[in-house]
Structure 1
């Protein structure tokens, strides 16, 4: 029987440690490079880690810019995931944090949409790829986000990722941070969506809790 564990909590609340405490050989996607801080409660277990390449382009990225590298990151991650699924010495697969996985998933789809914008201009206006990219950048016409209906594809990808873990009888662990829950608040006669004091939710794929077999909350006291 394979289960999906959803672990969430504030920073430095031992989320990664709890994930590593699940018995069995582990393959850890160390997507925030913080697993080294965790304490391994089962030291005799095999643990293999994968760390993504450093993306220095984030220094110059703003909302509305061209999305690059996300599709490739998703493809690289899922290729490693399939390898881990087929390893007989691995019983537990951990994504730390799963928000990074989800970001690569849906941003990869957005990247494909932006690449289609380039191809459309190349076909319609007989531009080179460089000319099409430059026009979209100069005029701020890149797709900024997916439409609601377009989230069907990334949601299905995440569903399939979970289903594969169950098919290969692997425990799957999603480690996530938290974010404040926002709600309507009247400020100087204007309704604004502001953080609700003391209320937090999982920061990541919103269907995680719905599909999880176990939800583990961590706190700092």
Structure 2
């Protein structure tokens, strides 16, 4: 049967062009090779809601720190994996302090930056053991102990005293979120102004 099929194909060039066109069909093979997956989740659907903040409670000449919030973070993998979490700032031009995430611009006066958001990982537990957070500013080449997660910094987790991230299958950590509003002398606040911080936590395999 196979040789017969080949014979028919060899004869096709001797037939008309119309027959050739009708006898051709494209075959596309697609897919994606991926490592074993890890699932990242945040409590409260990853939302920090500060509610209504009366402007009279804000400092006129210095930034005002809002009450801190804590989200519960979990990373669940199908097997022990080597990974890092990277914070990507969707409002990168609006931060008022270097090394922090932006809080967005004033919706009514776009040139005014509203403030900053700081993230830090605390009380981390990996596979049942206490872990420290490690930071890398060169895409994972070198690491230092650091709980603060600055934009684009790789954040890994390891046992106390280690200087390289560990393979982990289940990680649970507190993600502390601290928000600061810029001094009101820099802002136009004659109308309601929504805070607009937006950060993506990107899990990257090492």
Establish whether TM, by shorter chain, passes 0.5.
no
Q: How does the TM-score come out when normalised to structure 1?
A: 0.25
Q: Report which of the two has the higher share of helix.
A: 1
Q: How does the TM-score come out when normalised to structure 2?
A: 0.26
Higher relative contact order, chain-length normalized (CA < 8 Å, sep 6+): 1
Larger Rg: 2
Q: Report which of the two has the higher share of strand.
A: 2
